[in-house]
Amino acid sequence: MRLSVIYRMLFSRYRGEGPRLPDTTTRTDGSWQGPMKKSIIIYLTALLFTGCNNDPGDSVDTATVTVAPYIIWTDPMPDAVGPNIMSPNNVVKMRFSHLMDTRSVIHATSILPTDQTVFIDTNRAGPVEGTTFDFPLTPLSTWWIYVKDANLDSRFPPLYSIYYPSFKVAQKYTISVDTSAKDIYGNHLAAKTSFLFTPEPYFRVTDTYPIKNDTAISPLYASITVRFNANIDTSTVRPAFTISPQPLGNVYVYTGSWGFYWYLASDSMLAPETKYTTMIAASAKDVDGHAMPSSYSFSFTTSPYMVSSAYPTGNGVSLSAAIYVNCNFLVDSATMASSFSVSPAVSGKFQYSTSSFAYLPSLPLTPNIPYTVAISRNLLAKNGTPIKNAYSFSFTTGNQ
């Protein structure tokens, strides 16, 4: 018999496990009497005669492991209320007191209600760390949501992490593990265990672009995208949206099932170095009538008017190359010539295109020499605002 088994037998009474020792009383001097004293003497005697023969390689006799397993903790915690209570990818975690039989645990675990948008992905459920199990909750309609709002999602920058809501607003979910779950010794859960959690207690904004307090947002082709955690009631959401200061120009709004984006017409732009504050009032509702508990607002700041890029640059530039200048604002074409210079001088003409322009040399450039292009603060936006800083760049021509 291993020492660990004797230890378990000796102290199981205090943990509520294994065979219970008879109740006893103590004398006034603190010594024990009654059956417990006799039992302990027997255990200590067994320890004396077996300790020297205890082989470290011996294994515990599985027949002696008869304690029913139980759940130690869960994530989310019982009765947890969101938002933001779910592990990444909507994974429910449970830790058991024993090493468990994987198949029995997966088959014994269920979620209610069963007619909602999530279910337990049994193909990915299983133990991940000793006695801890992961149960991914897979939304039935993730692919449908993505296709439905492909236009809306495209308004977010590449690699921007978009939250795809899976849980119904104000819905309580119940995870249960029934007594068919058993440990590796065949001991079943003593009783069915359940816990509740509410991932999305109310209608809310989940994603925006620009994000809160974002800076250096381009004034050109500005747009604002807002996503929610449920299908929106467009009749309440659109009028609930405001922006301050109000931009000049024509404004358009595209509405998807889970959100909307607001954008200026291509002939309009935002003011430079300006803080804009957007608000969605609490009057916004989802299609089931759930209202936002409070208004939601976020601010962003635009960058100054500037040259955003120009080319050619580097070495070996073609002798027939044109010079291109791109800006983050709508250019006043009448100010291109007075703000542009090339050294050594190159004759040519300008070609204009709203927020950019090109200089087309009349003759091929000289081979194997460096050129420097300068853009002064004489370059103005259509609203009369000059670029904040002068801009210059260089390149070197090749042989041909």
Residue 131 in contact with residue 216, Cβ under 8 Å?
no
**What pTM does this model have?**
0.73
Give the lowest-confidence range in 70-74, 118-122, 137-141, 309-313. 137-141
Q: Is 249 left (phi over 0), alpha (psi -120 to 50) or beta?
A: left
Residues 53 and 75 in one domain: no
- Residues of the domain holding 188: 71-198
The CATH number given to whatever domain includes residue 354 is: 2.60.40.3710
Number of domains in the chain: 4
Q: What is the mean pLDDT of the chain?
A: 84
Instruction: Quote the CA–CA distance of 155 and 314 in Å, as a whole number.
Output: 33
Same-domain status, 75 and 45: no
260-295 pLDDT per residue, tens: 999 999 899 999 999 999 999 999 999 999 999 999
75 and 194, same domain (yes or no): yes
First to last CA, the chain: 91
Asked whether residue 76 falls in the same domain as residue 59, the answer is no
Is pLDDT at 61 greater than 80 in this prediction?
no
Residue 287 has a pLDDT of 95
246 and 190 belong to one structural domain: no
Final residue in a domain of this structure, among 170, 198, 226: 198
Note the pLDDT of residue 82.
Answer: 94
Do 89 and 155 share a domain, yes or no?
yes
Beta-strand relationship, 314-317 and 391-397:
parallel
pLDDT in tens, 327-340: 999 999 999 999 99
pLDDT at residue 356 is higher than 70: yes
d(CA 210, CA 162) in angstroms, rounded, equals 13
- Same domain? For 20 and 122 the reply is no
The CATH number that applies at residue 96 is 2.60.40.1220
Asked if 59 and 75 sit in the same domain, the reply is no
Q: Do 391 and 317 belong together in one domain?
A: yes
Question: pLDDT tens across 183-240, in order?
Answer: 999 999 999 999 999 999 999 999 999 999 999 899 997 899 999 999 999 999 999 9
Cα dihedral value 351, 356, 361, 364, nearest 10: -130
Whether 105 and 172 share a structural domain: yes
Question: Which of 246, 281, 302 marks a domain boundary?
Answer: 302
For 375-395, the pLDDT digits (tens) are 999 999 999 999 999 999 999
Mean pLDDT, rounded, for 154-182: 88
Distance of CA 204 to the CA centre of its chain: 15
Quickly state the pLDDT bin for 51 (edges 50, 70, 90): very low
Which tokens in the block code for residue 5? 């088994």
Same domain, 283 and 166: no
The pLDDT value given to residue 204: 96
Beta bridge partners of 238: none
Query: Which one has a higher pLDDT value, 138 or 297?
Result: 297
CA nearest neighbour of 328 among 251, 250, 381: 381
